[in-house]
Copies of this chain bind each other. A is one copy, B any other.
Amino acid sequence: MTELKDLQLIIDEAVKKLNYPAQPADLYEPITYILSIGGKRLRPALLLMACDLFGGDINAAIPPALAIEVFHNFTLMHDDIMDNAPLRRGRETVHHKWNQNVGILSGDAMLVEGYKLMMQVDDRILRPVMEIFNTTATAVCEGQQIDMQFEEQDNVVIGDYLEMIRLKTAVVLGGALKIGALIGGADKQDADLLYRFGEQLGIAFQLQDDILDVYGDPEKFGKQVGGDIIANKKTFLLLKALETANNTKRTELESWLSKKDFNAIDKVAAITSIYNDLGIQNDAIAAMQTYADEAFAALEAINLPAERKQYLKDFADDLLVREK
């Protein structure tokens, strides 16, 4: 098994070799730019791992792995416009550095580039691979739309939230793993199980993200702790708190949510204290564990020796005890 950091390095090198035309500069430079900002390259690394898991040649999986990374960054480019975000990974977003039209059109071109890369697989698996990619792309669009709707919506329940993060985040992990599995020669059943592993792991991963926003170590967590609280983001923690609070606590919580004028530190402290009183962290950890268990059960059911799967299990474990 190639180590995660080596896989990430392989992706980083391959990203650098993606050579887009010089002209039109405003179409292609933003693609190179957003890809150069980096990130952890987890999605393409998962694709390579899945290929490796079934004894496939990692080199054959590099273009589709890049496809997943290009696709992921296309979604970031367009999401940043929709969220009006000035920064991404500490750097200017594309629509900010250039302008909004550049962000839209360059993103469009990037999605097409993703398709071109994804097509670089054997004819034997071209259609199933493209079908997974299509399904994944549609799900991500649906997830993003639902996420935007949540901002305007008062009656979001936890089930809706879990479905939203499954669509917006988790299916890309599942899709990457399943495509890697097909390239590696897995049969349909094992490929589906690995998809399930990725999807459930993805939901657990997002729940972990929700938890870290409140309970992460500010030294290690890359973002401002409490950012979700300040923005009234409907995370698992907030929805669970609204669901389980008694009238007094709920009124207190809702009063903070409706405040237009507030001290951010006070708001984070107050809502965290409500979460603490309600034991929300434990609820979130329990939910996360449920999805992690589902993921591990799917992995276990794959028709391969346990020691061969240990690597992915360790990877998932690491992902879920991360502090950033």
Contact = CB atoms under 8 A, between A and B. Distances in A.
Contacts of A59: none
Interface residues of A, number: 33
B104 A141 contact: no
Contact of A24 (B26, B111, B142): B142
Nearest to A108: B141
Contacts of A142: 24, 27, 109
Interface string A103-146: 01101110111011001000100110011001001100110111
A37 interface: no
A112 B138 contact: yes
A26 B101 CA distance: 21
Contact of A111 (B81, B108, B126, B127): B108
Given A127-B123, A134-B116, A105 B141 contact: yes
A41 interface: no
A119 B107 CA distance: 22
Given A116-B134, A119-B130, A119-B131, A144 B78 contact: no
A130 B123 CA distance: 12
Residue of A108, A111, A130, A138 contacting most chain B CB atoms (<10 Å): A108
A68 to B, nearest CB: 15
27 contacts: A24-B142, A24-B145, A26-B149, A27-B145, A78-B104, A78-B105, A81-B101, A82-B101, A82-B105, A101-B148, A105-B141, A107-B108, A108-B108, A109-B138, A111-B111, A111-B112, A112-B141, A113-B138, A115-B115, A115-B130, A115-B134, A116-B134, A119-B127, A119-B130, A123-B127, A126-B126, A130-B130
Given A107-B108, A109-B138, A130-B130, 15 more contacts: A26-B145, A26-B149, A78-B104, A78-B108, A82-B101, A82-B105, A105-B141, A105-B145, A108-B108, A109-B141, A112-B141, A113-B138, A115-B115, A119-B131, A126-B126
